[in-house]
């Protein structure tokens, strides 16, 4: 090899490093963390696998259930003969914390029909379960401690769970309409035992029918808002639901073509720890929107972001992609709120939240599906399902390490120190 060619190769590597691009190294991943994810399917159906970051060993499997926001508890229902058992589990150890018997047929609400179930208030203190029939929908609402009896709620019609307030007094429901493309948000007053007569609407457009397909969602732990992306022919929007009022706000998201449903599914949400800033990122559109709460909530910044920088030549693993639909873990925010992580057409990008410009790129030989920040903010975990890949990115240095993975890890749910 000539000295000129060697120098050219060194220069090429230096340029790639200067552009903030990083791919997996061979050094081992940091041990001492538990990673909760869904990967593949077993004979018993979906399950949540708990992975040791150091060894890649699956230390336990959990049935599909409802986690508290901090994953301190994990709720599962087992149907028995003539009744059902509701159990609270410590997901880190698998230990049963509490359990109670409930009437048969009730289950934890399954909103998205993939990933964990729902039904818990943002502060984790209240729980709702549901049981449906053709003309009547029943709910149970009670303390998540499982120490008290649950209140039974019956509403005529076809309803599904939407949200539960932090005081357990307001149960928000989605009422399905005869037109499958439309719905209404309804408020049930748990204390009064009554469904409020008027739908929950955006008071700026009280007669505008709500329609759309549910996408990504994020809840403020303080119980102030639940934010949900809805996809529709008229363009995507964020449904901002305050959990202490009988109103909602519909805030339009940027859209290059309102009818491009496939790209709308790529909107992913990341909420700051204090609940004051919501980031929405869409790599298919190359857009980021920043929303703040208020009356009404408003998008205060939008930017076209260079997420889809051309990948390196000769990578060989990247093909032209079609939209994959809504993801679980499509965006993440650093613990200090300064970096927004999003997917790009290939790999992962780190976006400076002050400037909304890309500051670094990772894994640009791959097409990851899901990401999750560890609870201590030290590591960003990223997975790619089709190749059964799992990586750990150092949030401070950007160093990337590959972990031993389970088959087809398509949803990263949680990551915490042991």
What pLDDT does residue 45 have? 67
The mean-pLDDT minimum among 37-46, 48-57, 230-239, 258-267 falls in 37-46
b/e string for 55-88 if b means 16 or more Cβ within 10 A?
Answer: eeebebebbbbbbbeebebbbbbeeeeeebebbb
Q: 170 with 189: CB under 8 angstroms?
A: yes
Question: Residue 402's closest CA among 39, 52, 35, 26?
Answer: 26
- In this prediction, residues 240-252 reach a mean pLDDT of 92
| Domains of the chain in sequence order | 24-65+213-418 (2.130.10.10), 70-107+116-200 (2.130.10.10)
* pLDDT tens readout for residues 210-219: 788 889 999 9
What pLDDT does residue 395 have? 96
Sequence-distant (6+) residues with CB within 8 A of 180 are none
Say how far apart CA 51 and CA 48 lie, in whole Å. Answer: 10
Residue 232, classed as helix, strand or coil, is coil
Q: 128 with 164: CB under 8 angstroms?
A: yes
Q: 107 with 77: CB under 8 angstroms?
A: yes
Q: 413 with 372: CB under 8 angstroms?
A: yes
What pLDDT does residue 336 have? 96
- In this prediction, residues 39-47 reach a mean pLDDT of 67
b/e string for 337-351 if b means 16 or more Cβ within 10 A?
Answer: bebbbbbbbbbbbbb
When comparing pLDDT for 110 and 13, which is higher? 110
DSSP symbols for 341-365: EEE-SSSEEEEETTTTEEEEEE-TT
Whether the per-residue pLDDT at 30 is higher than 70: the answer is: yes
- DSSP letter at 25 equals B
What pLDDT does residue 21 have? 60
* pLDDT tens readout for residues 340-371: 999 998 999 999 999 999 999 999 999 999 99
The dihedral of CA 153, 155, 160, 164: what is its sign? Answer: negative
- In this prediction, residues 49-67 reach a mean pLDDT of 94
239 is written with which tokens? 């449904």
What pLDDT does residue 66 have? 97
Say how far apart CA 133 and CA 131 lie, in whole Å. Answer: 7
Question: Residue 144's closest CA among 92, 67, 236?
Answer: 67
Name the percent of the chain lying above pLDDT 90. Answer: 69
* pLDDT tens readout for residues 280-331: 999 999 999 999 988 899 999 999 998 885 544 444 333 333 444 567 999 9
* Mean predicted lDDT score pLDDT of the chain: 87
């Amino acid at each position: 090899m000539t000295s000129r060619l060697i120098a050219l190769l060194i220069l090429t590597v230096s340029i790639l490093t200067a552009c903030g691009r990083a791919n997996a190294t061979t050094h081992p991943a940091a041990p001492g963390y538990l990673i909760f994810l869904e990967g593949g399917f077993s004979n018993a159906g979906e399950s949540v696998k708990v992975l040791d970051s150091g060894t890649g060993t699956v230390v336990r499997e959990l049935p599909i259930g409802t986690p508290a926001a901090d994953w301190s508890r994990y709720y599962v229902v087992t149907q028995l003969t003539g009744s059902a058992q509701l159990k609270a589990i410590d997901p880190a150890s698998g230990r049963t914390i509490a359990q109670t018997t409930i009437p048969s047929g009730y289950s934890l609400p399954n909103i998205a029909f993939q990933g964990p179930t729902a039904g818990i208030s943002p502060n984790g203190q209240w729980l709702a379960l549901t049981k449906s029939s053709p003309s009547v929908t029943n709910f149970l609402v009670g303390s998540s401690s499982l120490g008290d009896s649950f209140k039974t709620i019956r509403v005529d019609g076809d309803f599904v769970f939407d949200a539960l307030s932090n005081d357990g007094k307001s149960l928000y429901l989605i009422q399905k309409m005869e037109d499958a493309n439309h719905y209404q948000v309804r408020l049930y007053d748990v204390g009064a035992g009554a469904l409020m007569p008027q739908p929950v609407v955006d008071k700026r457009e009280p007669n505008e029918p709500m329609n759309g397909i549910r996408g990504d969602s994020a809840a403020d732990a303080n119980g102030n808002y639940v934010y949900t992306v809805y996809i529709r022919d008229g363009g995507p929007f964020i449904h901002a639901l305050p959990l202490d009022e009988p109103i909602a706000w519909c805030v339009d998201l940027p859209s290059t073509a309102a009818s491009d449903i496939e790209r709308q599914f790529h909107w992913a949400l990341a909420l700051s720890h204090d609940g004051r800033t919501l980031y929405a990122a869409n790599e298919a559109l190359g857009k980021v929107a920043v929303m703040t709460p208020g009356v009404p909530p408003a998008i205060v910044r939008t930017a076209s972001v260079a997420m889809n920088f051309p990948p390196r030549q000769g990578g060989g693993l990247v093909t032209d992609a079609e939209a994959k639909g809504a993801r679980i873990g499509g965006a993440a925010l650093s613990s200090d709120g300064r970096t927004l992580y999003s997917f790009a057409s290939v790999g992962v990008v780190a976006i400076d939240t002050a400037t909304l410009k890309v500051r670094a790129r990772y894994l640009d030989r791959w097409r990851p599906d899901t990401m999750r920040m560890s609870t201590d903010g030290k590591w960003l975990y990223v997975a790619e399902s089709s190749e059964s890949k799992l990586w750990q990115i150092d949030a401070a240095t950007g160093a990337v390490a590959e972990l031993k993975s389970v088959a087809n890890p398509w949803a990263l749910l949680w990551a915490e120190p042991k």
